Amino acid sequence: MSKASRKFKVPDELANVYDFANTLDLRRFVHNSVPHPQGDELTSPAALAAWLSERKLLPSGARITAPLLGEALELRSSLRACLQRDPDERGDRMVLRALNRAIEKFPLVAAVATDRTMVLSGARKDALSGLSVVVSELLRASDNRSLDRLKMCASDECRRVFYDRSKPGTRRWCVSALCGNREKTRAYRARMQGEA
Ligand SMILES: [Zn+2]
């Protein structure tokens, strides 16, 4: 769980997926006359190591290499491509093929925990083993349908992944009062220009 996931009330069970997807920040809107700076938290193996370590997902002494960073970025881009679609449209073959190819590299194994319940955990034993938590969170969230509420903001200037807590689960913007209003204002202006 991170500060951002707590602030936006993302369920704990999806906190790592949420944080991981949002390591890429494409927001470029202007708010209170200040342009939002875009950013990427995973620009180097060391940056990925720091991100994992912050979440206690990096085995001690583990070293992230460039190929490992590549695997992580493949998982992130295919995950974001999937979340960008409406939940009903996430069955797209191309999108799923890319996501499955990335997920394949993070296999899960079943084991019995001390409380005798069965748990799935990552089978990898290398420096990237901690990232398997993203796949196990996806699996659990898909089981209880909460994954359908993890979405990407519909604003082209935002594209932040958010958790839709609305009752009907039909929210399109991460913050309706900001991204939603901006989009509506733009659509209104375009309509007016068209009519003029
Ligand atoms: Zn937004």
Q: How is residue 90 annotated by DSSP?
A: T
Helix axes of 93-103 and 66-83: crossing angle, nearest 10 degrees? 150
Q: Which range is most confident: 25-29, 118-122, 134-138, 191-195?
A: 134-138
Q: Distance from the CA of 169 to the center of ligand 1, in angstroms?
A: 16
What average pLDDT does the segment 130-141 reach? 96
**pLDDT for res 1:** 60
**pLDDT for res 125:** 95
Per domain, the residue ranges of the chain are 3-150
For the 3-150 domain, the top CATH level (class) is: mainly alpha
Residue 65 banded pLDDT, cuts 50, 70, 90? very high
Residues 131, 52 contacting (CB under 8 angstroms): yes
Q: Which residues crowd ion ligand 1, with CB under 5 Å?
A: 153, 155, 158, 160, 174, 179
How crowded is residue 125: how many other Cβ atoms within 10 Å of its Cβ? 9
Q: Distance from the CA of 95 to the center of ligand 1, in angstroms?
A: 22
Contacts of 159 (CB under 8 A, 6+ apart): 26, 27, 80, 84, 152, 153
Q: Distance from the CA of 150 to the center of ligand 1, in angstroms?
A: 13
Place of tokens 């995973």: 42
Residue 14 banded pLDDT, cuts 50, 70, 90? very high
Beta-bridge partner residues of 179 = none
Contacts of 103 (CB under 8 A, 6+ apart): 75, 78, 135, 138
Please state the pTM of the whole predicted model.
0.91
Q: Distance from the CA of 13 to the center of ligand 1, in angstroms?
A: 22
